[in-house]
Amino acid sequence: MRVDPIAGFEDGSQRIVGYKATFETAASPPPHSHRRGQIAYCPDAPLRVTAGGSTFVLGRDQAAWIPGDLLHRLSATTRRTALNLYIEPAYASSLGNRPRVLGLGPLERELIRTAAEAGVPDLADAAHGRLVEVLFDRLRPTQRLHGTLAIPSDRALARLQEEWLAGSGRDIDLSECAARLAVSPRTLQRRVLAATGLTFRRWRQKVVLFAAVEPLLRGCPVKVLAADCGYASASAFVAAFRAVFGITPGELQRQQVAE
């Protein structure tokens, strides 16, 4: 019997394996993949997903579809509950072969919870099978994303982006960054533009604002985040956030409250 090396479940002949786990603050497995496709849902904290060359953040009304054998990482900055469904590739063809965000209503959330908590034995039961069929009939990609951040193909820039997401070195300017990478400012500007399509300043701004999405979804006050992101006022932060993501921080938070 095969055993999934990360989640630890017995990877047998079942079409779907449910799995529930609790991760303490900031704890998450390293980048990994599963043979099966995965539906990942976190009901009690925003979830950051890195897969397929991009990073995105899920609210509690969303789940991620991660195809089988795709390297990915799931993380959160707070304690979280993970509700995961691991699905045989042949059974998940309707969900596609690339990562995507799935919109969840109250019914879909409860169906995922029920299937995840069922584990392996109960899912062999016909009643559970019918519940899963209903879930698959109702799962749809959502166009409402809480921002998406591409991962630069340039490894040095990708490492720098990870540092900014973690809150480190965000005040570094172009010249300082160029000196750190042992290149000229002009060369660095060209590298950033080639890798991100943005100038150094715009790229750094987008990364810093993207890092604010997760605490916003947790309900962190806008004034606090404005200061954390280096803005002199909340209004300047709001304007910059809207320019990048097409929605204000307050609107993003109200969407979560509405759910």
Q: Residue 259: its pLDDT value, please?
A: 56
Q: Residue 1: its pLDDT value, please?
A: 62
Residue 89: what residue type? Answer: P
Secondary structure of residue 33 in the 3-state scheme: coil
Give first-to-last CA distance, the chain, whole Å.
41
Secondary structure of residue 71 in the 3-state scheme: coil
- Ordered structural domains, the chain, with CATH: 2-141 (2.60.120.280), 152-258 (1.10.10.60)
Q: Could you tell me the pTM of the whole model?
A: 0.89
Encoded tokens for 159: 């490492």
Reply yes or no on whether the pLDDT at 144 is more than 80. no
CA distances from 152 to 101, 155, 191, 198 (A): 21, 7, 10, 11
Report phi then psi at 13, rounded to 5: -95, 0
Q: How many residues does the chain have?
A: 259
pLDDT digit string (tens) for 161-175?
999 998 888 889 999
Q: Quick one: which of 71, 97, 91, 84 has its CA closest to 40?
A: 84
pLDDT digit string (tens) for 75-115?
988 889 999 999 998 888 889 999 999 999 999 999 999 99
Q: Tell me the pLDDT band of 121, cut-offs 50, 70 and 90.
A: low
Encoded tokens for 18: 């449910």
Average of per-residue pLDDT across 5-24: 82
pLDDT digit string (tens) for 33-77?
999 999 999 999 999 999 999 999 999 899 999 999 999 999 988
Residue 88: what residue type? Answer: E
CA distances from 252 to 65, 101, 105, 157, 223 (A): 22, 16, 17, 28, 15
Over the chain, what is the mean pLDDT?
90
